[in-house]
């Protein structure tokens, strides 16, 4: 047998190396070091070197831009999670990175500042897009750990201020590697609920801590999930001095879990005071309206009284004028009436009949000439006192007739 090794092609050799790397029992490594030569190509490919403090060893790293959650720059100390691989095209050994986590207060602070600037430039902190939660919510979505003090503080203040509110609790880790996925999932579940089941407002909260403790609330995925929520979000992470990226993205920022409860529900005593104040205001308004109405009515009555007084004065003057004028022309009318009466008496036919005359009618016609009569015609004779019917027996000349 020959001891001469078989000759391999470059690709075959590199494939053999990668196959050997895949046979390592634990292919998921976590390596810590300082970032240098950080680059982003075409907005998609991220590459950087990871080196020791003494720069005696350098590990080239590669990942996609969407895998990089948060800011990264040269000089930051980070831990990278991934697996080793030799890239055939370049013949280079690299770490195929799946996750980058800043290490230490300085690195976390720098990553926080870089991501904050990025999100701010994208408009995620824009005040104009922030929504105002309803003043009297009926359902509240609460995202926090059941074991956290923030959970008990929030519920205690909530129920002491207001009652009858339904709280839908999503129990999540608020720190650790599970926290980010659980918080993002809880926000997605609340947004996906039917409109009749959706909470009126979501409260995302936890107690205070350092940057490492609050790392989940400074994660880019959580910040974007808060921004994308269909329901207004109140964020209360840490204490008053703590500022997470979720605080800037949320619709309302509360300084503490207790303050969050004060932001989402009103104080019962304040509402009762408002109701009493509004009742007093309405009563005063009504009293003022009544007083104005009475004043207007009184003025109208006074004006009407003046009008009536003027009308009565006009009527009195007209009556006095009528009496004066009637006293002047009434005797004249009486004299004229008496003259007309005398004239009518003189023309009264009964006065003529009383002197022996009569009125002869044939039917309804008064006879003035006998020529039109025939013997045997019936006529009626009207005397001064009474009348009688007669028949014509003879018609004489010159209009004279004889009656039977």
Residues sharing a CB contact under 8 Å with residue 271, sequence separation 6 or more, in sequence order: none
The distance from CA 57 to its chain's CA centroid, rounded to whole angstroms, is 64
CATH annotation of 127-266: 3.40.50.261
CATH annotation of 10-104: 2.40.50.140
Predicted local distance difference test score (pLDDT) of residue 25: 58
Q: Is 75 helix (H, G, I), strand (E, B) or coil?
A: coil
Predicted local distance difference test score (pLDDT) of residue 1: 47
Predicted local distance difference test score (pLDDT) of residue 328: 77
DSSP code string of 140-209: EEEEE-TTSHHHHHHHHHHHHH--S-EEEEEE--SSSTTHHHHHHHHHHHHHHS-TTTS-SEEEEEE---
Q: Residues in the chain with pLDDT < 50?
A: 1
* C-alpha neighbours within 13 Å on the C-beta side of residue 196: 0
Which pTM value belongs to this model? 0.57
Cβ-based neighbour number of residue 396 at 10 Å? 9
Cβ-based neighbour number of residue 240 at 10 Å? 10
Distance CA 397, CA 125 (A): 140
Distance CA 39, CA 220 (A): 19
Token pair 């659980």 is found at 182
Domain locations along the chain: 10-104, 127-266, 268-297, 353-403
Predicted local distance difference test score (pLDDT) of residue 9: 65
Q: Which of 130, 118, 29, 109 is nearest to 65 (CA)?
A: 118
Predicted local distance difference test score (pLDDT) of residue 10: 67
DSSP code string of 8-39: --HHHHHHHHHHHHHTSS---EEEEEEEEEEE
- Give pLDDT tens digits for 135-181: 999 999 999 999 988 999 999 999 999 988 999 999 999 988 889 99
Predicted local distance difference test score (pLDDT) of residue 108: 76
Predicted local distance difference test score (pLDDT) of residue 88: 73
Predicted local distance difference test score (pLDDT) of residue 353: 74
């Amino acid at each position: 047998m020959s001891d001469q090794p078989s000759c391999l092609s470059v690709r075959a050799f590199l494939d053999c190396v990668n196959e050997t790397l895949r046979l390592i029992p634990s292919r998921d490594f976590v390596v810590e070091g300082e970032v240098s030569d950080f680059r982003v190509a075409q907005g998609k490919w991220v590459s950087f070197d990871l080196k020791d403090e003494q720069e005696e060893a350098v590990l080239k790293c590669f990942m996609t831009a969407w895998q990089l959650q948060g800011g990264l720059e040269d000089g930051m100390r980070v831990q990278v999670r991934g697996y080793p691989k030799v890239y055939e095209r370049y013949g280079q050994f690299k770490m195929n990175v799946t996750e980058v986590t800043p290490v230490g207060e300085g690195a976390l602070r720098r990553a926080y500042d870089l991501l904050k600037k990025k999100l701010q430039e994208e408009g995620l902190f824009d005040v104009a897009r922030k929504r105002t939660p309803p003043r009297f919510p009926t359902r509240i979505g609460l995202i926090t750990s059941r074991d956290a003090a923030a959970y008990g503080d929030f519920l205690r203040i909530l129920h002491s201020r207001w009652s009858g509110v339904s709280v839908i609790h999503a129990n999540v880790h608020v720190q650790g590697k599970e926290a980010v996925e659980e918080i993002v999932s809880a926000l997605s579940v609340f947004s996906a609920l039917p409109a009749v089941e959706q909470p009126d407002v979501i409260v995302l909260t936890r107690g205070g801590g350092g940057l490492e403790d609050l790392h989940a609330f400074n994660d880019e995925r959580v910040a974007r999930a808060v921004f994308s929520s269909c329901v207004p979000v109140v964020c209360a992470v840490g204490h008053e001095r703590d500022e997470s990226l979720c605080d800037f993205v949320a619709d309302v920022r509360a300084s503490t879990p207790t303050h969050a409860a004060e932001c989402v529900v009103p104080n019962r005593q304040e509402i009762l005071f408002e109701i009493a104040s509004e009742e007093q205001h309405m009563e005063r308004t009504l009293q003022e309206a009544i007083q104005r109405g009475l004043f207007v009515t009184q003025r109208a009555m006074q004006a009407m009284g003046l009008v009536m007084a003027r009308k009565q004065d006009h009527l009195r003057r007209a009556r006095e004028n009528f009496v004066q004028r009637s006293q002047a022309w009434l005797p004249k009318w009486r004299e004229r009436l008496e003259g007309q009466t005398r004239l009518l008496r003189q023309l009264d036919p009964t006065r003529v009949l009383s002197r022996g005359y009569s009125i002869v009618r044939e039917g309804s016609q008064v006879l003035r000439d006998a020529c039109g009569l025939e013997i045997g015609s019936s006529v009626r004779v009207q005397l001064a006192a009474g009348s009688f019917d007669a028949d014509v027996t003879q018609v004489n000349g010159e209009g004279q007739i004889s009656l039977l």
